Structures are given as structure tokens and as C-alpha cells.
């Protein structure tokens, strides 16, 4: 599982992008309806996305043998920040899993 849009390590991501996309190594929906993305900025502020739902392939970015994409909406981000991105099961007490970081 990893960031698909923006890509992990991306710089200069528009802070009003409004969406986040992840890709998993699967051919079907394995996450169901209880997952979201969590972004954490350098000050520790937590930003949560809408629920991750299946989304269309962004085109040529296919990091796995089988690729299944999920998208979610996010609010406007702060300019010139680095955001760590996590996936979170909203029905679990387990810690969210880091999937990458990007900068606005």
C-alpha cells in the first residue's frame, strides 16, 4: 500500500488539491468501507479525509503486479508544509500505518 496521488516524496503539491489517492497490491476492494487517510503536518495537526472508496486508475502509475486504487477528499492544506500520510481503519484501535509523505 502506498500513496498514488500525490506520490510519496512529491514536492510542490497544490495545497488546494482536494483529494488523496492510494494504491494497494490487490485486484479487488480489500479495504471495505471503514478506512480513511490521515495527514499530519509538522506542528502535529491532524487532518482526516473522507472514507477511502474505490477510484479509477490515474494512468501509468502501476507499482504492483495488480493495482487497486482508492480515493478520498481532503480539505485545503497549508502551503509550504510536509505532510505525513497514513491509512487508518476507523473501526480499529490499531495505530494508523504510514504510507508516505509529500510537501505542498
The residues, any chain, with a CB within 8 Å of residue 39's CB and separated by 6 or more, are 20, 46, 47, 48, 49, 74, 77, 83, 84, 85, 86
Q: What is the pLDDT of residue 87?
A: 97
Q: Does 104 fall in a domain?
A: no
Q: Would 66 be classed as within a structural domain?
A: yes
Residues 54-95 have pLDDT tens digits of 999 888 789 999 999 999 999 999 999 999 999 999 999 999
CATH number for the domain including 68?
Answer: 2.60.40
Buried b (16+ CB within 10 A) or exposed e, 73-90: ebeebeeebebebbbbee
Residue 91: what pLDDT? 95
Q: What is the pLDDT of residues 20-50, one digit of tens each?
A: 999 999 999 999 999 999 999 999 999 999 9
- Domain with 16 in it: 2-99
Residue 85 lies in a domain: yes
Residue 45, in any domain of the structure: yes
Q: For residue 22, how far is the Cα from the chain centroid?
A: 5
The pLDDT score that the predictor gives to residue 79 is: 92
pLDDT in tens, 7-18: 999 999 999 989
Amino acid at each position: 500500500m502506498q500513496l498514488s496521488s500525490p506520490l510519496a516524496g512529491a514536492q510542490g503539491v497544490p495545497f488546494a488539491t482536494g483529494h488523496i489517492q492510494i494504491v494497494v497490491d490487490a485486484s479487488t476492494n480489500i479495504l471495505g468501507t471503514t478506512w480513511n487517510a490521515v495527514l499530519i503536518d509538522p506542528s502535529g495537526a491532524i487532518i482526516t479525509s473522507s472514507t477511502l472508496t474505490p477510484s479509477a486508475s490515474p494512468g501509468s502509475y502501476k507499482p504492483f503486479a495488480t493495482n487497486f486504487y482508492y480515493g478520498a477528499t481532503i480539505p485545503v492544506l497549508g502551503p509550504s508544509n510536509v505532510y505525513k500520510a497514513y491509512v487508518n481503519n476507523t473501526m480499529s484501535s490499531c495505530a494508523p500505518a504510514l504510507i508516505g509523505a509529500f510537501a505542498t
